[in-house]
Every structure is written in C-alpha cells, then in structure tokens.
Structure 1
Amino acid sequence: MHRKLVATGASLAGVAVLLGAFGTHALAGRLGPQALGWWQTAIQYQAWHAIGIFALGLSGPDWTRRPAWLLAAGVLIFATTLYAMALGAPRWLGAVTPVGGLLMIAGWGLLVWQAISSRD
C-alpha cells in the first residue's frame, strides 16, 4: 500500500464532495449555465480520478505509483482551472485546462503500459 496515494485519493474525493455540495447549494443561483457546467465537469473528473488514485494506492505494486501521480497532477490542473473559471477567473485559464487532461490521459496510458509489461 502507498499511504501518500491513498491519502491523496481520499483528500481529492472529500474535496470533490465538499465542492459539489458548495456548487449545488451556494452557487446554483449565482452562476450561469456555462459556469455551472464547468463546475460539474470539474467535480466529475476530480471524483472519478480520486477513486482511481485511491485504488492504485491500495493496490500495492510500485509500478502503479507514477501513473497515479500523473492522474493526481492532471486532475489538480484540470479541475482547478475549471473551478477558477466558473468563479470568474480569466478565460485564458481554459488554455491550461487541456494540460491537466493530457496528464490524466498520460497517467491512464502509463498504467496500461505498466500493467502489460510488469513482471509482478
């Protein structure tokens, strides 16, 4: 078990629930449809990837660490830029969002590669 990954996944999941509730109760009447869409997309990607990171942390093999950290970095960049834009940050942050998406894709791709080529 990789405790830091378990803690990271659990933290990201808890924050996703917190921000989801905040969005539903505090922001629903204040944000437009596009901003709420960004908020919901960020919540979904953060929650699903948090579960993946948590599971990889519990799985044990060392070869799962790099993919999990790529997922964590990706979800932080992806979700954070969407949250920020939803709350009124400059739209140019939307150019940074795909970097997070690419890191998540790289994490899943590396996991596939590691799983296929691992000897344990």
Structure 2
Amino acid sequence: MTQEIIIATGAIFGMLSVIFGAFGAHALKKTLSNDQLQSFEVGVKYQMYHAILLVVLGFNFESITSAIYWCFTIGIILFSFSIYGLVLSDAKGKKMRFLGPVTPIGGLLLVIGWLLLLVNVI
C-alpha cells in the first residue's frame, strides 16, 4: 500500500460518512424508526472513526502494514455498509437478512485491525 492510497481511502470513507450522516439525519429521519436511525448512526460513526484512523495512519506511513489497511478497509465495508443495507431494507419492509451475519464479520475485521496495529507498535 502506498501512503497516498491509504490517505485517499480514509478520505473517501470520511466523505461518505458525512454524506450518509446528513442523509440519515435529514432524508431518513421521517422514514426510519428511532431504533433504525440509531443503528444507521452506529454505522456512520464507526465508518468515520476508522476513516480518521486510516488518514492518521497514512500520514504515519511506517506504522501501517498491508494487513492493517485491508482489515480496516474491508471491515468498514462489511460492518457499516451491512448496517446501512439492513436498516434501509427493513424500512422498505424487505429486510435483507443475509446481511445480518456480515456485520459481525466486519466488526471482527476492525478488531483484528486494531490488534495488528497494537502488535505492530509493540
């Protein structure tokens, strides 16, 4: 991974997090229940937290390995985007249940990314 790719990935996820957060707060506020909106916001928050982390790690390029990058990148996609899909499909009355097991796999990849980062700095 190059430094530019890591920073660009973080920037794209950060930008999308702002867009999805605004979309959830404004366009979906009337469509989603409070529980659905809170779940959607969890996806947005975790996406932003890890986007910021990728940008910071990109600027500290020596501290990131390819495995760390991929764990965070795939983890964001599986965790946050599966939550978005579950919430939006549930709001439409056609919940995509196959996404249910995807969310914890994404969460596990995020945890592994953090563990690899810890091991890398030790």
TM over 0.5: yes
* 1:103 and 2:109 matched: yes
1:77/1:100 contact within 8 Å kept: yes
Structure 1: gaps of 5 or more residues: none
Q: Secondary structure at the match of 1:87?
A: helix
**Distance change in 2, residues 1:29/1:67 (3 Å):** same
Structure 2: gaps of 5 or more residues: 90-94
Tell me the percent identity.
Answer: 36
Partner Cα separation in structure 2 for residue 9 and residue 90 of structure 1: 27
Give the paired residue count: 116
Task: Answer with 106-115 or 27-36: which moved more.
Answer: 27-36
Give the alignment partner of residue 119 of structure 2, picking from 110, 113, 120. Answer: 113
Q: Secondary structure at the match of 2:100?
A: helix
2:75/2:107 contact within 8 Å kept: yes
2:82/2:102 contact within 8 Å kept: yes
| TM-aligned CA deviation for residue 91 of structure 1 | 2.8
Task: Answer with 80-89 or 99-108: which moved more.
Answer: 80-89
TM-score (normalised: structure 2) = 0.89
In the TM superposition, structure 1's runs of 4+ consecutive aligned residues that sit over 3 Å from their partners are 62-65
1:35/1:85 contact within 8 Å kept: no
Partner Cα separation in structure 2 for residue 92 and residue 34 of structure 1: 20
Partner Cα separation in structure 2 for residue 72 and residue 65 of structure 1: 10
Partner Cα separation in structure 2 for residue 4 and residue 45 of structure 1: 20
Query: Which residue of structure 2 aligns with residue 59 of structure 1?
Result: 60
- Root-mean-square deviation over aligned CA pairs: 1.4
| TM-aligned CA deviation for residue 76 of structure 1 | 0.8
